[in-house]
Amino acid sequence: MRIFLVEDNSALADGVSRALAKVGYAVDTADNGEDADAILATQVFDLVILDLNLPGCDGLEVLRRLRSRGNNAQVLILTARDALEDRVAGLDRGADDYLTKPFELAELEARVRALLRRSGGTGSPETALGGLRFNSVARRAWVNELPLDLPRRELGVLEILLNRAGHVVNKEQLADGLANFDDEISFNAIEIYVSRLRKRLKPAGLNIRTVRGLGYLMEKP
């Protein structure tokens, strides 16, 4: 899952991005509104965490432009503005959630998980398919109720394919979902991750089918 954090406090941005990356999210950052708007106009993210007090262009304007382009990414406003009128304005402009500073990191992570579950069409952290069970909160998977220990990147591929089971996912979408601006994931690496997952998921009765020229399909049993 790919997250875009827009925050001009460098220490806070670094701490939040490290915490989210640690649990398997690909996190990119921007520290001003104009850069954020330009990036959001060309890049696809699953979730945007947006400060309101930004240099250049404030967060509400960034949000307005985002929604005016028809972008339906989940948006969590993270700001020191705690007045009722600010919360109302943010939600009316199209934000999906609103969290004020100071905040506890555990609550931020919980809200991120909830928003990403919502974007995936499920309110539950648990997803099951065949003999596979995946928990997006614990960031863990089980095959036939036995723990499936996966490296971070393979876990990311599994989550993307599982959330889109029954639909073809191309290599570009997988690479984008795993990498931030500073990473470069080759298509060869994607093929290796998928090959390893195929072997791990075989006992669960699941197959990741290669659709030639299009991508990969997590087949429903």
CA–CA separation, 153 vs 177, rounded Å? 10
Q: What is the pLDDT of residue 185?
A: 84
Q: What is the pLDDT of residue 95?
A: 95
Cα atoms found within 13 Å of the Cα of residue 174, Cβ hemisphere only: 29
Edge-first strand order for the sheet with 2-6 is: 26-30, 2-6, 47-50, 74-79, 97-100
Q: Which residues contact 192 (CB under 8 A, 6 or more apart)?
A: none
Q: What is the pLDDT of residue 124?
A: 63
pTM: 0.68
Q: What is the pLDDT of residue 63?
A: 96
Q: Which CATH architecture has domain 126-219?
A: Orthogonal Bundle (1.10)
CA–CA separation, 61 vs 37, rounded Å? 9
139-147: Cβ within 8 A, 24+ apart:
139/23, 139/24, 143/200, 143/201, 143/203, 143/204, 144/203, 144/204
Q: What is the pLDDT of residue 103?
A: 93
Q: What is the pLDDT of residue 148?
A: 93
Q: What is the pLDDT of residue 182?
A: 61
- Candidates 147, 166, 170, 179; CA nearest to 206 is 166
DSSP string over 43-85: ---SEEEE-SS-SSS-HHHHHHHHHHTT---EEEEEES--SHH
CA–CA separation, 76 vs 210, rounded Å? 35
CA–CA separation, 72 vs 67, rounded Å? 7
Task: Name the token pair of 41.
Answer: 């106009």
- Fold of domain 2-119: Rossmann fold (3.40.50)
33 in Cβ contact with 79 (< 8 Å): no
Query: What ranges do the domains of the chain cover?
Result: 2-119, 126-219
Phi, psi of 134, rounded to the nearest 5 degrees: -125, 135
Q: What is the pLDDT of residue 121?
A: 52
Q: What is the pLDDT of residue 220?
A: 77
Q: What is the pLDDT of residue 181?
A: 65
pLDDT under 70 in the chain at which residues?
A: 120-124, 180-182
Q: What is the pLDDT of residue 3?
A: 93
